[in-house]
Amino acid sequence: MGSVDRLVSVEDFRQLARRRLPGSIFEFVDGGAGQELTLAANRADFERIRLIPRVLTDVSRPDLSTSLWSQSFATPLVISPMGSCALVRPGADIAIARAAAARGIPYTLSTMSTTGIERMAKAVEGPLWFQLYVLKDFDFNRQLVQRAQEAGYSTLVVTVDLQAGGKREKDLRNGISIPLRPSARHLLEGILHPAWSLRLLRGGLPQFENVRGYLGDTSAGLTIAARVGANLHAGFDWDDFRRIRDWWKGRLVVKGVLHAGDAASLVAASADGIWLSNHGGRQLDGAISSIDALPAIRHALGADVPILIDSGIRTGMDVIKAGASGARAAAIGRAALFGAVAGEAGVTRVLEILLEEIANGLKLAGTPAFSRIGPDLIA
């Protein structure tokens, strides 16, 4: 793996990404909406949680496994859905998915991924989930769901917090938007980052294969991405959700939930799991952090309904804190994408770091198994 062996934290990979990527691309990945209040809260609220370790417990063989829907997974990690990953490095989607599959970690493919549903299924032998952005055209929504089902994806993740795109001020200033607004700054950044530029020239601009054909547009580039962005279904309601639930015969998880009442209503409407998320601070600025929303939602749902969480997870200790607050699994997005700057080897190293941190954290907390973490661990 070369130089990535020397990196010892996700923050190290974030700094590597800052160095290797043009500034506007790094800010696209790293930034959030508005004043970035929620982006900051996602980290601050994890950091303020304090743990009360136990002692004289045999922790010689920490067990990182977790259970979702009576199925055991080797780790408590999941990969969050991410679009436009090819801007970081061509093939980043598949690099992340392969590194995850090697550790039995589910990979969630975004509707707006730069690798198509069928291509990903052929490229990766591991647990695959598909994330649906709900568009105004319900025939097209159904086509996406059917394609994922036919390709063998085990879980459908329906995102409910994208009624419109959040105002990302850094991207607006940088011109990293859809449609893209090229400028002299981008040219200069490309010159100053020749390795990134050469890879992009060889790989081409991101292609959004899953939405090819939407509204009759046979392209898969930035034009179709702009059309999708203009056709997010702001009227998505409970009747629409029930239609999607009827289409999908497997497990269905709802992503983007922060309100305990919504979580309970979704479970009553046959959701199989709830994924707490504020979209990594990229949507509603000023929204509560996922980790702060977690205890109330766990209380509302009881112990049996699987809860996943993302937004702000950067260390193994964050995963342990999420588990103690009631999550069965923690999902990472940016952390994996920072690793992808160095290709599959970089993602592999990021996952190794997180899993090592979880194992070490369980030992030091006096907890022999992730599945046995409870609220008594939190001060």
Catalytic residue ranges: 279
In whole angstroms, what is the distance from residue 156 CA to residue 4 CA? 33
Pairing state between β 71-73 and 66-68: antiparallel
- Are the C-beta atoms of residues 347 and 336 closer than 8 Å to each other? yes
End-to-end CA gap in the chain = 39
Residues 6 or more apart whose Cβ sits within 8 Å of residue 155:
106, 129, 130, 250, 251, 252, 253
CA dihedral angle for residue 296, residue 299, residue 302, residue 308, rounded to 10 degrees: 30
Q: Residue 271 corresponds to which tokens in the numbers above?
A: 């959701």
DSSP string, 174-201: HT-SSS----HHHHHHHHH-HHHHHHHH
